[in-house]
Structure 1
Amino acid sequence: MPALDYPSHLVEDWQLPDGTPVRIRPIRAEDLAMHTAFVNGLSKETGYRRLLSPRTPQPDELWRMTHIDYDRELALIATTMADGAEQQMGVARYVRGETPETAQVAEFAIVIADAWQHRGLASKLMRKLIDAARAAGVRQLADITLYDNTAMLALARKLGFSVQRDPGNPNVTRLRLALDPAA
């Protein structure tokens, strides 16, 4: 991606309630090694809740997760400095549908590294992702989560998502958020 395409206006410095400095920014192709380390560092439970399966992303999937077409998708990462190096703490992303009819709806996902969970980071990342999606013309965010992923269900409710068990698959819950363009 040319540097001009990078949505630098979304970069934000923030801090956790305990004072830990956090930078939230769009992911870049150069983040492949850091993102790979982040994904490989997730516990089996966290990875399972994110992918709804025990599999781990393959190198080509990880490459795709960092090489973003910013017109169609966005991945916001949260990072902090640890031992003099940038370390990824979490990621929230959306991907629009591919046709003009489906481009106003985007699937979303979020995952926070185990050490950073339950500290307000997921809420901050999702709020920033929602605002960016709205500004980009997305009219609905939608995804599924496991029926027993209580942390994700609580976050979704807190952010105004509708939460509904899937009648065709009792193991998952559907999450939807209509985005008002005027908000």
Structure 2
Amino acid sequence: MPTSPIREFPTYPRHAELPPRSRERFAPVASPLSHAPRGEVVHTADGRELVLRDIEPGDVAAIQRCFQRLPPQDVRRRFMHAMAELPVSMAQRLCRIDPELEAAFALIDEAVKPAELRGVGRIFVDVASNTAEFSVLVEREWTRIGLGALLMQRLVDESRRRGLDELWGYVLMENRPMLQLCKELGFVATMVPGEGSTAQIRLTL
């Protein structure tokens, strides 16, 4: 009878490295970017680092903490009236946007724990008129270092990307820095009839 050939198995020196086990061979490889911040890293004029990204539903607590740090004057400039606190329902609404009709960009400070929201810019699209209303808020200690201009430019770019005809918003006349910024970006200001303290600013896209 023919005999089966003898199979030879490889032998390894006692101290040689053995092949990895299957669970190790097929384990997912950790990406070097796995801990990279979501969004775009930006630097302020004074050298501080922030992450610019879309606002997320998980930012509710951060946006409430940001509101608590705002002086009453800044709250009135942003919301056009006094508010003692930002209700949870409103914070949730501001963080859970409809991407078809809104866009919101947040500036996140990841140098602290928990990460804090230092500024946010958003647009609300009016489909009927093919325009969008904007709003921008930057925390007081983070103003005058280019963040307002950064957010406004992103809103202009997003509005153009969507093919909108015009970007507009309301600004209190006392908010001189915002009025000056919008003027530099090409916005035209007109007084709101019957409201001597408020201007409507518009940019044809």
Normalised TM-score (structure 1): 0.86
Who is 1:60 aligned against?
89
Shift of 1:174: 0.8
Who is 1:43 aligned against?
71
Q: Supply the distance in 2 between the matched residues of 1:41 and 1:171 (Cα, whole angstroms).
A: 25
Who is 2:128 aligned against?
101
| Letter of the structure 1 residue corresponding to residue 109 of structure 2 | T
| Letter of the structure 1 residue corresponding to residue 165 of structure 2 | R
Q: Which has the higher strand share?
A: 1
Runs of 5+ in structure 2 lacking a partner? 1-37
Q: Supply the distance in 2 between the matched residues of 1:167 and 1:89 (Cα, whole angstroms).
A: 33
Runs of 5+ in structure 1 lacking a partner? 1-9
SS in 1 for 2:110: strand
User: Does the CA-based 8 Å contact 1:24-1:125 persist in structure 2?
Assistant: no
SS in 1 for 2:167: strand
Q: Which has the higher helix share?
A: 1
Who is 1:20 aligned against?
48
Normalised TM-score (structure 2): 0.77
Alignment of 1:113-124 (within 5 A): 113-124=139-150
Q: Supply the distance in 1 between the matched residues of 2:131 and 2:68 (Cα, whole angstroms).
A: 30
Q: Supply the distance in 2 between the matched residues of 1:11 and 1:159 (Cα, whole angstroms).
A: 24
Shift of 1:83: 2.9
Who is 1:7 aligned against?
none
| Letter of the structure 2 residue corresponding to residue 137 of structure 1 | G
**Is 1:79 aligned to residue 108 of structure 2?**
yes
Task: State which structure, 1 or 2, has the greater radius of gyration over its C-alpha atoms.
Answer: 2
User: Does the CA-based 8 Å contact 1:27-1:77 persist in structure 2?
Assistant: yes
| Letter of the structure 1 residue corresponding to residue 119 of structure 2 | G
CA deviations 1:24-69 (Å, max 9, x no partner) are 1110111111111112211111111111111243221111000011
| Letter of the structure 2 residue corresponding to residue 81 of structure 1 | E
User: Does the CA-based 8 Å contact 1:73-1:93 persist in structure 2?
Assistant: yes
- Give the aligned length: 167
Pairwise CA RMSD: 1.5
Give the alignment partner of residue 127 of structure 1, picking from 129, 150, 153.
153
| More RCO (CA 8 Å, sep 6+) | 1
